[in-house]
């Protein structure tokens, strides 16, 4: 599974699945391609395959509100209590380190 790993201010890491990010982008361009599925197949997936840096770019343009928490994967122990994780992300979203990783197994 490919994820965008996000390093929180305390050094802990969470991940957002690339599939979720692709779905968000495809939904934004759905009108241009005649639907979400067409947008995904004709535009988003080819773009992300050819230019993986576009995945990070899209995440950086997303708002924290675009994530409801269900799709977040813990990549390390989070030392901050839950409300503080959201606050830390809200305050530091643009400056959080983000990188593309692949989970094996």
Strand order in the sheet with 13-17: 73-74, 13-17, 2-7, 97-102
Q: Tell me, what's the pLDDT at 96?
A: 83
Evaluate whether 24 touches 58 at the Cβ level (below 8 Å): yes
Q: Residue 47 CA to chain centroid, in angstroms?
A: 15
Please count the CA atoms within 13 angstroms of the CA of 103 that sit on its side-chain side. Answer: 15
The pLDDT profile of the chain, 105 residues, written as one tens digit per residue, is 899 998 877 787 888 899 999 999 999 999 999 999 999 999 999 999 999 999 999 998 887 778 766 567 777 765 555 555 667 677 777 788 899 999 886
Dist. CA 66–CA 45, nearest whole Å: 19
Q: Tell me, what's the pLDDT at 36?
A: 97
Model confidence, pTM: 0.83
Q: Tell me, what's the pLDDT at 10?
A: 75
- Angle at which helices 18-28 and 53-61 cross, to 10°: 70
């Amino acid at each position: 599974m490919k994820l965008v790993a996000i390093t929180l201010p305390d050094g802990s890491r969470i991940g957002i699945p690339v599939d979720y990010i692709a779905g968000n982008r495809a939904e934004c361009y759905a009108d241009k391609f005649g639907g979400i599925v067409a947008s995904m197949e004709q535009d988003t997936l080819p773009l992300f395959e050819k230019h993986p840096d576009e995945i990070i770019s899209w995440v950086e343009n997303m708002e924290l509100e675009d994530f409801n928490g269900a799709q977040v994967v813990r990549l390390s122990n989070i030392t901050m209590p839950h409300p503080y994780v959201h606050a830390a992300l809200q305050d530091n979203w643009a400056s959080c380190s983000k990188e593309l990783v692949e989970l094996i197994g």
